[in-house]
Structure 1
Amino acid sequence: MSWYQQEIRLRSRPKGCHLVHSEIVDQLGQLKNIKIGMANFFLQHTSASLMINENCDPDVRDDMDMGLDKIVPETFPYTHTDEGPDDMPGHLKSGIVGVSLNIPITNGRLNLGTWQG
């Protein structure tokens, strides 16, 4: 058994739900050498999160963003406001959605469903 660890840097993005699958896979040079395994992705950020979702129709990302904004609106009377109106909602959304994912690796690829990303 062997282990492999790599830090990946994603480019900055504005508030919203974004597809980052290709950006992640493009930075995983050793992925192609793994026949079977498990990838753990951990986001080192306190107001962002990771999820697997529909990767084809961009309307899904828009609807996910709208739904999360409804659950965690910027209009709550937050105490933590030093970093702008979307910061505390970002912390809450991060806590709800989560900052890590485990994805199986099969024959050098992340083993996701056809429409997952």
Structure 2
Amino acid sequence: MALPQPTKIHYSKTRHCLELHYADGQLVELSAELLRVLSPSAEVQGHGSPKLQVGKKDVRIWKIEPVGRYALKLSFDDGHDTGLFTWDYLWQLGENKEVRWQQYLDQLAAAGESRTPKLIPLAVDAGKKS
């Protein structure tokens, strides 16, 4: 049996979260970061061994496209835009988001990684005056 399909979808740019409204009045909110680090794409899920996504705290969704009547394609501002978020997958994320989020945080800690993006040092020409 298929899980419920949202009746309304809205992305809050101020809260950086995808809001899924259902016919029974339920509202499921999924942060852009959660969606990015748990993307169903092969790039993230790997082939049997998921790849830990790091430094995604500030990621945002910049494009949402429907895919038929069964999924959404989300494009993120870090360039990631593969993977289809089916209605079933989004529902399951909503139902288990606290557990899945804690698992993600535990994996980051175990790997000595962080949600915060790593800064890339810029080369500075010391001989140049501004």
TM over 0.5: no
Richer in strand (by share) = 2
Q: TM-score when scaled to structure 2?
A: 0.25
1 or 2 for the larger relative contact order (CA 8 Å, sep ≥6)? 1
Q: TM-score when scaled to structure 1?
A: 0.27
